[in-house]
């Protein structure tokens, strides 16, 4: 399995990301639902950088900031990002990064 790696099991990834978001935004994990807008919880651009760095620890590999930007541009083209970036989107990104070679 992980042999001391910080990686989490697949079923735990959403909970790990929820915890990271709650910690970064200083809100209760209960406030971070799958469809909750992170900007609505007070997220600013610097918070997304912090999230990416913390996701690196969870997925056990370096995650380029440009990877986040590319993912958002492809996944949410033309969307109002202030409403569209949710826990579900961040979990999807973390899953993609974990499976990336």
pLDDT higher than 50, residue 1: no
How far, in Å, CA of 44 to CA of 25, rounded? 9
pLDDT tens-digit profile of 2-36? 334 445 665 689 999 999 999 999 999 999 999 99
* Structure confidence at residue 101 (pLDDT): 77
Q: What is the CATH number of domain 10-99?
A: 1.10.1200.10
Residue 30 is given by DSSP the state G
Mean pLDDT of the chain: 89
Q: How far apart are CA 68 and CA 77, in angstroms?
A: 13
Instruction: Find the mean pLDDT for residues 66-73.
Output: 94
pTM: 0.86
Residue 37 φ then ψ, to 5°: -70, 125
Q: How far apart are CA 25 and CA 87, in angstroms?
A: 12
Q: Distance from CA of residue 38 to its chain's centroid?
A: 10
Concatenating the DSSP letter of every residue in 64-76 gives -HHHHHHHHHHHS
């Amino acid at each position: 399995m992980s042999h001391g790696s910080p990686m989490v099991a697949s079923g735990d990834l959403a909970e790990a990301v929820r915890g990271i978001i709650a910690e970064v935004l200083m809100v209760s994990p209960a406030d971070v639902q799958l469809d909750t807008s992170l900007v609505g919880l007070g997220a600013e651009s610097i918070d997304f950088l912090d999230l990416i760095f913390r996701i690196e620890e969870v997925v056990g590999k370096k995650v380029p900031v440009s990877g986040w930007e590319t993912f958002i541009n492809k996944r949410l083209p033309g969307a109002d990002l202030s409403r569209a970036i949710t826990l579900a989107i961040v979990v999807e990104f973390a899953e993609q990064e974990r499976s990336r070679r």
